[in-house]
């Protein structure tokens, strides 16, 4: 197997989520892809996309939900505030993610994105311009997941009917519509009320009526050389 990977982690509300992803996302992805490719034959792009989706969603679940569940399950007498301050740093911060996975054997590039980082491919032309300079054709390989994307607006509007979600292109005052982390946009209102009471967490936003709003489900585009 001859593979190359590149990744971008665009963190916000602190660096912890981006740090966590930088450490864990690609190793998890490589291990899962190795299992897929070890079954023999060249997998279809749909199978590759499915593995990428499962890795992204599972890692986000570990970051956001399993860490929160650890706090909820603490017994009486446990110094829960100090534990929450440590354990929930990654869940409370957030990050957009862009990955490029190139399979050299079949000259195929897979680009999953969560958020509004953008991948652009430059393909060199055989001919040069009149000054002898190399010319590149630009190909956009990802679609921003934000309020400028009508598919994202339609998806969120269907999931949260009768709610005013967008102010211009911003989703409940956030730029991206998908992220890793950002537990405040994913935890239930009951869980956030628990955190406020037990962990000195922030008061739940009154605009968050039916969370979750964010997801780490990627959209993956595939192109061949």
- Work out the angle between the directed axes of helices 16-37 and 45-61 (0-180°, nearest 10): 140
d(CA 11, CA 159): 26
The tally of domains found in the chain comes to 1
The pLDDT assigned to 75 comes to 65
The pLDDT assigned to 225 comes to 78
pLDDT at residue 205 greater than cutoff 90: no
Mean per-residue pLDDT, 133-162: 94
> CA-based angle 140:144:148, to the nearest 5?
120
pLDDT at residue 137 greater than cutoff 80: yes
Structure tokens at 58: 């599972």
The percentage of residues in the chain with a pLDDT greater than 90, rounded to a whole number, is: 75
- Provide the domain limits for residue 58: 3-224
Q: Which residues contact 51 (CB under 8 A, 6 or more apart)?
A: 29, 32, 33, 36
For the chain, how many residues are written? 225
pLDDT at residue 77 greater than cutoff 90: no
pLDDT at residue 19 greater than cutoff 70: yes
Mean per-residue pLDDT, 190-203: 84
pTM value? Answer: 0.92
- Across all residues in the chain, what is the average pLDDT? 93
Burial of 31 (0-12, 13-18, 19+ CB in 10 A): exposed
The pLDDT assigned to 131 comes to 80
pLDDT at residue 20 greater than cutoff 80: yes
CATH of the domain at 211: 3.60.40.10
The pLDDT assigned to 78 comes to 73
Name the residue with higher pLDDT: 14 or 225.
14
The pLDDT assigned to 158 comes to 97
pLDDT at residue 198 greater than cutoff 90: no
Mean per-residue pLDDT, 36-58: 96
């Amino acid at each position: 197997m001859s593979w190359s990977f590149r990744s971008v982690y665009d963190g916000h509300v602190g660096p912890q989520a981006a740090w966590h992803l930088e450490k864990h996302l690609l190793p998890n992805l490589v291990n899962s892809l190795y299992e897929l490719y070890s079954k023999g034959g060249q997998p279809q792009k749909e199978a590759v996309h499915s593995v990428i989706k499962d890795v992204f969603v599972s890692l986000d679940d570990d970051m956001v939900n399993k860490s929160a569940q650890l706090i909820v399950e603490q017994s009486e007498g446990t110094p829960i505030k100090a534990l929450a301050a440590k354990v929930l740093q990654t869940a409370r911060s957030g990050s957009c993610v862009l990955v490029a996975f190139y399979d050299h054997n079949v000259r195929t590039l897979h680009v999953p994105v969560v958020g509004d980082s953008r991948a652009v491919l430059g393909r060199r032309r055989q001919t040069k311009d009149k000054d002898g300079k190399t010319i590149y054709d630009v190909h956009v390989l990802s679609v921003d997941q934000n309020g400028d994307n009508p598919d994202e607006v339609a998806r969120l509007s269907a999931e949260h009917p009768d709610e005013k979600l967008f102010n211009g292109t911003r989703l409940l005052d956030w730029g991206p519509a998908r992220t890793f982390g950002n537990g405040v946009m994913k935890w239930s209102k009951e869980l956030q009320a628990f955190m406020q009471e037990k962990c000195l967490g922030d008061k739940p936003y009154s605009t968050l009526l039916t969370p979750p709003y964010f997801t780490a489900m990627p959209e993956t585009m595939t192109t061949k050389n």
